[in-house]
Structures are given as structure tokens and as C-alpha cells.
Structure 1
Amino acid sequence: MPNPYAWWSCALLLCMALPLTGQQLPVEAAPSQLDSPAYSLFRPVPKMRLRPMSTDRPDVTESAYSLDAGHLQVETDVVRFGTRRFGVNTSQEELALNHANVKLGLTSRLDVQLVVESYTRQTERPTNRAEPSTYRAGFGDLTLRLKRNLWGNDGGRSALAVMPFIKLPTGRSCGNRAWEGGVVVPFALQLPRDWSLGSQLQTTLIRDEDSGYNCVELAPTVTVGHDLYKTLGGFVELAGSWDTREQGRSLTVNGGPIWRVSDNLQLDLGINYPLTADTETTYFLGVSFRR
């Protein structure tokens, strides 16, 4: 059973941190952005009129802002390594390479996204070294997402979006070979003195591999943000999930630095640290770019 003091410690840490969430709020719309509804996939927004780049990574909390019409953005885990222990008998390691989110702006408020799990290697190691380890590796699942910004794309103190998604069971070795889907509702709020707040609720219909039945998973997150320097910042986030299974609960505190190399290029690295048992510890390095 998780230590209740860990929950309060994380809440206090979130309030004291000075992170950069990667979800910059355009408080006032520039005049050049006011006619953005005229742009589309086939009439791209000119580069000088682009909104500040907003990414769905590196935190779990998705951005409440959609991509500018007619532009492409790629956000990828260059490398991600995770490890966790199941009880006292087995541990699992997972290495992911180039798990990418490819985004295409369709209109001033709508973009389409394809999440590609390019390569995953999973290793299960028994505690008893006399028993052999098992390996699975290969191409993973594809996830198709459609983000619709409801308000705040071009200005205002808050922003809200809705993003339905569906997972295609293209992975054979590393996937659960099941169709899954759900919806994400991300929210962003500009606080006084250049602080910002981000949160979301994700609801997913998932398949339990052991029983073969579907169950509902709820995954809320919260993150607070503030620039440390003009191009350098960091993020701190609290992310949880639970479902209708008895053991389907997890809580992590996530964080790491972000470097905005240019208006269209961002680098990040970080850790997802577990606060509950049987939850994965994850280290990652990522890059995002827009064109």
C-alpha cells in the first residue's frame, strides 16, 4: 500500500517548483493571428505568424493548444528506458527507441496525430538467476489522435482541448493485440506573475491481458510551470492512473530540464519516479521540432 505521506510531499513539491511545462500561453493574440481561421492544411500559416511552439511532451500532460494549420511537428523519445519489479519474483526492463508523435495541423483549431512505437525491447528477469530471462522486441502499436482546441489557441488566460484517440494493434511481439481507445481533455491556465498551470483527465477503455475483458482506466495529471531562463527551464508533474482492476493503480512524480534551442526546436530529458508499488521507473531523452 502506498505511503500517504508521499502524496502530500508531491503536492508540496509541485507548489514549490519552478518548471517549464512546454505549454506556453499566448496571453494576447497578435494582430497577425486574428485572421488565422482563413488558414488550412492547403493554405499554411506563414512562418512569421506561427504561435509559440507547444508540445505534448516531455510531461504526461498533453498540450491544450493545437498545431498551426499546414505545418508538421515531430515529438519523439529518442531513447526511453524503464524498469520495474513485479512482486519479489520478477523484474521487467523496457528499452524504447524513437517512439514518435507526428502531428499535422489541419485548421486553426484542429490537428491530427499519429503516435508510432518504432522499436521496443522488453526483458523479463526472474529473481532466481538459474531461470532464463525472456525477451520480446519489435515494432509496436500505432495510435491515431485528433486534437480539437475549444478555446485559447490565439490568446486568453486559459485554454481547453479535447482529443479522442484509438490504438491500432499493429504490434505483434510487444503489444497486447487489442483495439483500445479513449479521450483526453487537457486544460491550461495562466496564473499571476508568469506562472502557469496544466492538467488533464484521460479516460481509456483498455484490455486486460490476463482476463481478456475490457476495463476503464482514468488518468489525471497536474503540472505547474515557470520559465527559469529565456531558453532553459524544467518541469515537475504529478501523474496518476487507476482502473477497475484491483491492482491497476499507479502514481509518479515526473521532472527534468527542457532546452528551447530555437523557435522550432526543443530538447528534453527527465525521469518518471514511482510512488506506488509495481510502477515503472522511467528515464528518457527526447527532441521536438516543427516545420
Structure 2
Amino acid sequence: MKHFFWLLILLPTYARAQNDHKPTPYDSAHFSWRKPVPRNRLRELQPDRPGVTESPFTVDAGHAQVEMDLLRLRNSGTGDEQRERELKVAYTMLKFGLGRRTDLQLEVPLYAIAKQRATEATDWEERHAGFGDLTLRVKHNFIGDDQQGKFAMAVIGYARLPSGGAVGEGAPEYGVVLPVDIELSDKANLEAQLETDLNYDRDQDQRYLRFVPSTALEYDFTEKLGLVAEAVAMWDTEQRRWQASANIAPIFKLTPNLQLDLGTHLALNRLSDHEYFVGFTFRR
């Protein structure tokens, strides 16, 4: 992870050499949330979903974007003694472009069902359902947001509010995400990020740090069909053990402003979560 961190730090130096200051139809001097970008000059749709690795590109100024998990099922094994299952329905990320380099985001977890049971038990012993924890996020792009060069880099800061009661985490949580994107060709992009979170364990009544490096390759087979293949690792100061997953998700680009996705996160060890999901992104 140490080498991964230094790679993210040094990449902007490489990017400045690669990104030519070309004229672009998307000029930050002309557009803001009060003066939206004309629809015929919108950039290519670049959502943060479907993988863990997020996009360094922001929403066009003055426009809104919806990214939603229609359904997401997560099974996890927290150790030898306990199993957990979570079903999320209509988990929604609302985004609004404030300027060329910054957007404001609100995660609205409309409904979730969380269940727990002992490993040897056949029935779920504890069940909670309801509205989840609201999360306020801000993304700011440092370089490459005009999509004219081959490198882009941003930072995302978030605060999660304990609005979900028994379904939520039980206390405020905070995090910082550093995503980058390297254009390998007209059809392929390499993405990577380092995420650092300050999380809360309700059962232990204590906070812990979590580190999540990830990398993803996105490839467009056609203008309408793409695929994301991703590797994710996770380590925290509570369990002090690595978790790993391999994720794969096809993307169906129905229109310039609408895409569908579905996929799975495959657990590579017994502590990792195993997920299935289907969702969409819509921009207006």
C-alpha cells in the first residue's frame, strides 16, 4: 500500500507533462451553477458507480445527476461466530455541479434491511429495516476535468450522519477519497484510488481507521457496451487483517445521459463481503 500511496502522489507530475492546454468547448470562465452548461456541450457521462473506484470527473456546472442502486445484496462473514446480510433498495446518490471542477453530492439511503445471525444458527436472529444514514459529499477536481488530456485527479470528502437508527452505523463517520484516471486508449481507461475512513463500530462502541486502495480497468467494446473489472483491498485498525475482492460489472450506455449497470463483488477471502447489484445513472 505504501507504493500505491506514492504513486498517487507523483502521478500529477506525469500528468502535467501529458496534458496539453488545448482549447476546450467547456470553459470554466463561462459556466456555473447559476449559468448551466448548454446541453449540446455536456461532457461524456462519468459516474462514480458501478465499482468501488470512483471517477475524478465532476458533474457539469448547473446540471443534476442521479446514481442509484436499485437493489444491492451484501453477504458478509465478520469472523467465525457471526454472519450478516444487508439488502439495499433505491439507495440514491444525488449530485449537482457547482462549477467546472466542483460538485456537491448527497447520498440518500431510502430503504435497507440488515440481518445478523450466529454462524451455526439457521434463522436470522436480529433484523432491522428502514431509512439509512445520510451522507454529504463534496468532490473537487485538481486536473483533467475538461477531459482533454490523458490524466485526471480529484479529491472527495464526506461526512455520514447517523440518521438510520438501528439500520445505520450509530455515529457520524468521515472519509477522504483520492481517485485518479489514466486514459490508455480511446476504448480503455485505468482508474485507481486510495480511500481513508474514520468509521464507528456500534457493537464495540469505538472508532477505527480503514484504508481502501483499489484499481479498475474500464473498457468500451462499443459505444453502447462497456465493462469494468476491479480489484479492491481493505485494511482497518480494528481487525488488522486484509480483505480482498474482485469486482466485475457490464455497463449499458443507452443514451448520452442514461446508463444501466449490474455486477458482483466476488469475495477473495472469508472476511470479505460478497455483493450483487443492479443500478443506473441519469443526468439532466
Q: Residue 48 of structure 1 aligns to a residue in which SS? A: helix
Report the TM-score when normalising by structure 2.
0.87
Give the SS at the match of 2:25. helix
Identity %: 37
Q: Does structure 1 residue 151 correspond to structure 2 residue 157?
A: no
Say if 1:37 and 1:107, in contact at 8 Å, map to a contact too.
Answer: no
Q: Is the 8 A contact 1:27 1:157 kept in 2?
A: no
1:166-193 CA-partner distances (Å, limit 9, x unpaired): 1111110211221111211100011246
Q: What is the CA–CA distance in structure 2 between the aligned matches of 1:51 and 1:212, rounded to whole Å?
A: 45
Does residue 1:67 correspond to 2:59, yes or no?
A: yes
1:76 pairs with one of 55, 62, 68: 68
Please state if 1:231 is matched with 2:224. yes
Code of the aligned partner of 1:196: N
Task: List runs of 5+ in structure 2 lacking aligned partners.
Answer: 1-18
Q: Report what 1:42 is aligned to.
A: 34
Q: What displacement does 1:224 show?
A: 1.3
Deviation string 1:4-63 (CA, Å, 9 cap, x unpaired) is xxxxxxxxxxxxxxxxxxxxxx99967422x23321111000000100010000011111
| Cα root mean square deviation, aligned | 2.0
Cα distance in 2 for residues equivalent to 1:98 and 1:59: 17
1:181 maps to which residue? Answer: 174
The separation in 1 between residues aligned to 2:260 and 2:123, in whole angstroms, is 40
Amino acid in the other structure paired with 1:224:
L
Aligned mates of 2:170, 2:78 — CA distance in 1 = 22
Contact residue 41 and residue 70 of structure 1 kept, 8 A: yes
1:234-249 matched pairs, under 5 angstroms: 234-247=227-240, 249=242
The count of aligned residue pairs is: 265
Give the structure, 1 or 2, with the largest relative contact order (CA under 8 Å, sep 6 or more): 1
Say which of 110, 113, 133 aligns to 2:105. 113
Give the TM-score normalised by the residue count of structure 1: 0.85
1:278 offset after TM fit, Å? 2.3
Do 1:252 and 1:275's aligned partners in 2 also have CA atoms closer than 8 Å? yes
1:235, distance to aligned residue in structure 2 (A): 0.9
Following the alignment from structure 1 to structure 2, what is the Cα–Cα distance between the partners of residues 50 and 28?
Answer: 19
Q: How far apart, in 2, do the equivalents of 1:121 and 1:229 lie?
A: 37
Mark the CA change 1:218 to 1:129 in structure 2 (over 3 Å): closer, same or farther: closer
In the alignment, is the contact (CA less than 8 A) between 2:73 and 2:277 conserved in 1?
A: yes
Separation in 1, partners of 2:61, 2:205: 41
